[in-house]
Amino acid sequence: MSTAAPQPRTVRELDTPAARELARLAEILGELQTVLLCCERLVGELAADEPDDLTVDALWTTAVLTYARCFGGDAGLSEDDVTATPLQGEVLEWHRVLIRLRERHTDTARAPREQCSVGVTQDESGHASGIAITSTPRPMLDDVTVKQTGALAYELSKLVDERMTQRQERVRASVGDMAVMELERLPRIELAPAG
């Protein structure tokens, strides 16, 4: 005997402050899950004999940008949420580093992976003899950095999940007494067919 809830026949869109807040929390939870998936993949990639630099860079960039999107805006996370996690150590400072890294990854004036310089070469007499372009790579990503980021995303996910449960109950209570005619005036959300 199946105990699963039956598929709803119709879903109607709610456009209330509480519903929008719940939707934002669901987006944040999805973003934090993406950060966790990137960190899991990065741990495996960094453990390889020869990690693929492009894969590492793509996963890390996605993790940093996605993490930062969880902060700010309506119902976004805050630094208070970061300090409320049970994690020990310089958690707030690590959060701030991740936010600064996001800024580096989105800066259109400089490359996030390396810094290039141009110099002049000199011949034996000290005169200019050519031009040299040098590049200094930024420090390589390490396992500790990835695991710290994953741990923070995990703890924030738990916090967001708790908030979602509370907001969901509040939204459910606000629509519980709505008349059928009132519900039917709300825009319909099309559901994908099951199967």
Position of tokens 């805006």? 73
- Position 184 scores a pLDDT of 84
Phi-psi region of 12 (alpha: psi -120 to 50; beta: other; left: phi over 0): beta
- Determine the pLDDT at residue 179: 86
pLDDT digits (tens, 9 = 90+) for 45-64: 999 999 999 999 999 999 99
Tell me the average pLDDT of the chain. Answer: 89
Q: What is the pLDDT of residues 156-175, one digit of tens each?
A: 999 999 999 999 999 998 88
The pLDDT-based confidence of 195 (bands split at 50, 70, 90) is low
Which one-letter DSSP state was computed for residue 132? E
pLDDT tens profile 77-102: 999 999 999 999 999 999 999 999 99
- Binned at pLDDT 50, 70 and 90, residue 2 comes out as low
C-alpha distances (whole Å) from 183 to each of 162, 179, 193 are 27, 6, 22
CA torsion sign for 73, 75, 80, 84 is negative
